Structure 1
């Protein structure tokens, strides 16, 4: 079957779709060329940014700590709260207390300027580590903690060294009290320990913008590179060259550790979100839209003119559909790389998630990064297969009013961000191209 271009025909989609880019007729063997393939890429796009009310940040297996300032997305800080337990509570009566401290092992995640000094402070949680509702903690969750500092550390980060760690020496009064209670058998199981010590809060310095770091938060005691609170003691033993011992207190349950992530947008173009239904359109945010994991800031793309395709011909079908968009130049580099893929969800008019976007085969569909060949990466873009989505809109008997939500694939465990351009002046607009067959 041969395809050849015959002409450019104007079509009007109620001022939503403009002119067809290309029209192809299919072969001389068909009756009077009644079969045509049309490529349409002049759909109107309604792009904006909204903010999800809350994201689950428990059970991520990551302690996320720090503070950063971003010109576009304001200041952001992350604290971490955790419940700790040990696998055994047995210390020999001849033992002598030594010290106690918190070991934080890097998991290689970082964001921001790691050359700046950061300070972490440890505080004792004052309430039971239980969510207010359900089984999960959110980025908006918090727990009361004692204002007295149990220990603190100022440091320069080395996040690329997975074998490296931070050690925050803690108050020996607390350590000796835990030690004595175990020796005296006042604490001999996790319930006893949690009655005495409900948990630990790690609070970063938020007075200067520095960086956000990730630390391992596993629930298995012998996991290599795991973070834990460690109590050291000694036992004089003539039969051993090493008389040093310790007990590790690890996170009791993945659901009992969460990160409180706070974002201040008051000095940005995104200030003043009312609720998750509030959308800041791209024309009001300097012709860009944003997605940021951890905070709920989310890019939204709506294409209201898709439904008009069904009015072209009585008998027609979509052969393919692709959405493309460009990350804003200057917002990414080697220190802030673009993700290879972004997750896409279908949302309704109130920004409630309906489902993850899928292909016609039912597989999850992602926005795939297409890197430019030139050194300036001027044509770097993302593309999304929207074939199934377009078909769903076209053949629904009701007006679905669906839009697309763009987020990071792991948007509950980090604070990465991407800025998407939608600017008619630079010709870097979000575009949908549909190949359409009428017969």
Structure 2
């Protein structure tokens, strides 16, 4: 057995005294710690009364381009208001195309597969509206200088388009379509579009017009489509790879009238993007604004919300970690678990299957996800799956808390709670928590008498 020196014994007694002075409600439970006691002088303790400040932040923008998924629809939900998502993309002329002089127009359709993703009530009919773009889709180039554009944000991408990007479109739709979605079936929709537009394209081609003969000229002439939803209670995902506008026409071949088609496929998938915004008017979050800093749960009806795509995130702060580090030796911490419970009666809009934690500070820029292994830069992100039976998420925060306790000044350090990066920019799932009572930091530690 290894014996402690007199100085070590004195230090341990001081540590024990300071631990007892903490304003913590503790109980001995060595079994929960997963360690055996060496002798009666070592005790395992637990607390979940450490203060966690919970607030909501509205990010200024989230990159949504180049994700191969079109998100279109709308829904209204308690606490988070009405979310709308539109999708914008360009069409290409495609391969060489010839038509006979006697070709006649039949129809024009948007052919687009459902991706299988949906969020909201899909039993309600949805109406889609189609607008012709009147300006070019232009990606945003970020400054190479961090102090100008802060590209360190994990949701910023150079040469990208964002949920708040704008591309001019005609004020009135040229077509609309109403249907009852079946997203799980992953059907391919064939949506009728304007006969006037289809006839115009065929006439231009028959006339030898350069706008229907050259890819660049076609893009200058027809700059793209905006797809929006005016009715419905869900956002649906559409697979970009299979999306195309198909022109149906007929021409005489060897004396027989023959059906023909011409596909105008999506061109430059990196310029397809989803406009995703949420209207918070009339909700507890009405006072939360973009880049306006965090708004504490105490000012929002004691709720906080993260909403993928739209830019809402839940911010978690641990204001007394510096004080704790002066009273508890970091090496005596056995486990730190962050427990997050969705607000009751809010999961009729499903809670995200998985959540991540992102480091941030007073700037409210989400820098990067916490890693499962902080010492390995190639480690996957630390995530927590939703446990439906217990209605909670649990994160192992042991490395993070120990690191914070060993850091001289943690003032301003905080975490964002939201779905993982890929999910956050490709979906609209949300999480509502009931303020600090829904978020607990459980600390398991050892004391030596």
Structure 1 stretches of 4+ with a deviation exceeding 6 A read 7-10
Residue among 415, 434, 438 paired with 2:443: 434
- Deviation string, structure 1 residues 302-328 (Cα, Å, up to 9, x no partner): 112223332225683432211102112
Aligned: 1:403 with 2:414: yes
Q: Is the 8 A contact 1:126 1:198 kept in 2?
A: yes
Q: Secondary structure at the residue paired with 1:53?
A: coil
Instruction: Go from structure 1 to structure 2 and tell me whether the alpha carbon gap of 1:64 and 1:308 turns closer, same or farther (over 3 Å shift).
Output: same
Aligned: 1:250 with 2:250: no
Match of 2:404 in 1: 393
Match of 2:187 in 1: 163
Q: Secondary structure at the residue paired with 2:99?
A: coil
In the TM superposition, what is the alpha-carbon distance from 1:418 to its structure 2 partner?
1.4
Distance 1:161 1:90 in 2: 34
**RMSD of aligned Cα (Å):** 2.7
The 5-angstrom pairing of residues 305-344 of structure 1 reads 305-313=320-328, 316-333=331-348, 336-344=349-357
Q: How many aligned residue pairs are there?
A: 404
Gaps of 5+ in 2: 2-15, 31-35, 143-158
Distance 1:302 1:166 in 2: 49
In the TM superposition, what is the alpha-carbon distance from 1:40 to its structure 2 partner?
3.1
Q: Secondary structure at the residue paired with 1:307?
A: helix
Q: Secondary structure at the residue paired with 1:243?
A: strand
- TM-score between both structures, scaled by the size of structure 2: 0.82
The 5-angstrom pairing of residues 159-308 of structure 1 reads 159-172=183-196, 174-183=197-206, 184=208, 186=210, 187-205=212-230, 210-218=233-241, 226-238=242-254, 243-308=258-323
In the TM superposition, what is the alpha-carbon distance from 1:390 to its structure 2 partner?
0.6
Instruction: Go from structure 1 to structure 2 and tell me whether the alpha carbon gap of 1:192 and 1:268 turns closer, same or farther (over 3 Å shift).
Output: same
Q: Is the 8 A contact 2:107 2:192 kept in 1?
A: no
Q: Secondary structure at the residue paired with 2:321?
A: helix
In the TM superposition, what is the alpha-carbon distance from 1:114 to its structure 2 partner?
2.3
Gaps of 5+ in 1: 2-6, 219-225, 373-378
Instruction: Go from structure 1 to structure 2 and tell me whether the alpha carbon gap of 1:89 and 1:97 turns closer, same or farther (over 3 Å shift).
Output: farther
Higher mean Cα deviation, 132-141 or 75-84? Answer: 132-141
- Deviation string, structure 1 residues 28-60 (Cα, Å, up to 9, x no partner): 3xxx83x55433322011011111111112112
In the TM superposition, what is the alpha-carbon distance from 1:297 to its structure 2 partner?
1.1
- Per chain length, whose mean CA-contact separation is higher, i.e. which structure has more relative contact order (CA < 8 Å, sep 6+)? 2
Match of 2:117 in 1: 109
Match of 2:429 in 1: 416
Instruction: Go from structure 1 to structure 2 and tell me whether the alpha carbon gap of 1:360 and 1:129 turns closer, same or farther (over 3 Å shift).
Output: closer
Q: Is the 8 A contact 1:150 1:171 kept in 2?
A: no
Distance 1:59 1:22 in 2: 52
Q: Is the 8 A contact 2:351 2:429 kept in 1?
A: no
Which structure carries more helix by proportion? 2
Q: Is the 8 A contact 2:74 2:83 kept in 1?
A: yes
